[in-house]
Structure 1
């Protein structure tokens, strides 16, 4: 690292890419880069800052994230897609992971990164260009074919966001709330496991127990009950019962 710096490497382009894309890097390297004039909020060609890249990493980088937060990284900047570091951390779409140990590490790291960012002042109610909040992204956009650990960590992320004041009943650009989106994104595929379907049900129950409004309408006048058609037939009655118990006659 010191050799690269001595040869005039652009710390705002080359070095941050190196730190954020390589598996294990030390906190000493991060501190060395910052001491040599790196802009803590520098952006790449997609508008991403170092803290965004680290938050989206599939590798655990708790110590480096703590350094960036401590040294004043702006946690609420948006990339070209309107996504913040918190959105990247809360997203459950972990890619490029091959081993079981890497998958589990990724799930644990994501939930820890979300808490660190929130404690550091990240806004849980910021929206991307589609009007989606961090809560909407974390609750509705689930990957298929994952393990029990994966689903449990995503439930933990959503709970953490709710405890931090995430708005449960606001709508995206289409007026759809997180509850509507969670129902709409339910994948009806015969090959899906019981684990996936059961955890979709747990997520909906969590949102309802936390105060999700079942009577609100989207921009097309649809209510939560209209999104029940997205739920697999064998789960529609149980989900309908959950909604009914929370004040909606279907």
Structure 2
């Protein structure tokens, strides 16, 4: 068996088809251009060879009788060199000219959005969104995340690219609740102008005011009240108002004072019949207890078990006067 010398033929063409960030489509003509009625060993065989950029040697990535092949598992934004080897039934071999092709840049994704937000980079965020990634599920997630940061401009960019201000996280909190808790007044005002409502509630029924009270940001709370936010709104679990949450969690007398001045009910009861005074006593918030008493809290009121603030204080070795 005599194998003829390898021929380099310029008329053999390796055609580049669709190129993505991880694949390259290659095709070529079958010069026989007729039905294959002969046995396979008489068919012309094609091999696609890929060059190693370090050694400049070639390895076979496809061998067979087809006239197209999809090379996959490639790196994005990378140059690749290919050539076609044609082996005929006579064992004559020919090589096509080498073709060079760059894979595409990897498409933007939620990861790129995350990076842009973390860097607080408005230009990068705009570029990612304009690429079309805003049509994916990520945009509302990052709107919630951005609402925690100081940059209202990032929120504006996301909203203008279609982010839903009313989307919620796994606990039911929306962007407005997050911004209220974080204390970013400009973002709160922006979201309100976009239609966010004070009446929205998370999975426990806590509203933006509940979260603002937890955050302890006085300018936010003051703005919310002036904007018509209800001060005695209750959650769904314990029927706590914002004043009750202050009594239970932070004991922040300054926050409580704003709520009381806005008309918060100092003697309102929760699901267990407790008043803000009782809850403040149980949590030993001394300054808040004094404020509540000075604001008309009734220390004679009893909970559903017949215990009052004085009884609770006594049980813990404290005193209500």
Using structure 1 for the length normalisation, give the TM-score: 0.70
Counterpart-to-counterpart distance in 1, 2:273 and 2:154: 45
1:118 to 194, 202, 225: 225
Q: Secondary structure at the match of 1:181?
A: helix
Q: 1:18 to 1:217 in 2, by over 3 A?
A: closer
Counterpart-to-counterpart distance in 2, 1:18 and 1:220: 43
Per-residue deviation at 1:88?
A: 0.9
Q: Which residue of 2 aligns with 1:183?
A: 281
Q: Which residue of 1 aligns with 2:113?
A: none
Q: Deviations over 1:177-212 (max 9, x none)?
A: 0000111122xxxxxxxxxxxxx3221111011111
Q: Deviations over 1:137-175 (max 9, x none)?
A: 112313xxxxxxxx7xx2211100011111111111100
Which has a greater percent of strand? 2
- RCO comparison, higher one (Cα < 8 Å, 6+): 1
Counterpart-to-counterpart distance in 2, 1:115 and 1:43: 25
CA RMSD of aligned residues (A): 2.0
Determine if contact 1:140/1:182 at 8 Å carries over to the other structure: yes
Greater Cα radius of gyration, structure 1 or 2: 2
Counterpart-to-counterpart distance in 2, 1:34 and 1:132: 32
Aligned pairs (5 A) from 1:43-122: 43-57=168-182, 60-91=183-214, 110-122=217-229
The alignment status of 1:228 with 2:313, answered yes or no, reads: yes
Aligned pairs (5 A) from 1:1-250: 1-7=125-131, 8-9=133-134, 10=137, 12-21=139-148, 23-25=149-151, 27-57=152-182, 60-91=183-214, 110-128=217-235, 129-142=237-250, 154-186=252-284, 200-231=285-316, 233=317, 236=318, 239-240=319-320, 242=321
Counterpart-to-counterpart distance in 1, 2:143 and 2:156: 12
Q: 1:121 to 1:72 in 2, by over 3 A?
A: farther
Q: Which residue of 2 aligns with 1:147?
A: none
Q: Which residue of 1 aligns with 2:116?
A: none
Counterpart-to-counterpart distance in 2, 1:14 and 1:91: 22
Per-residue deviation at 1:71?
A: 2.8
Determine if contact 2:141/2:169 at 8 Å carries over to the other structure: no
Determine if contact 1:185/1:230 at 8 Å carries over to the other structure: no
Count of aligned positions: 193
Q: 1:230 to 1:34 in 2, by over 3 A?
A: farther
Q: Secondary structure at the match of 1:56?
A: helix
Using structure 2 for the length normalisation, give the TM-score: 0.56
Which has a greater percent of helix? 1
Determine if contact 1:217/1:224 at 8 Å carries over to the other structure: yes
Q: Deviations over 1:67-92 (max 9, x none)?
A: 11233211121101221111111115
Residue segments in structure 1 that go unaligned for 5+ positions in a row = 93-106, 143-150, 187-199, 243-250
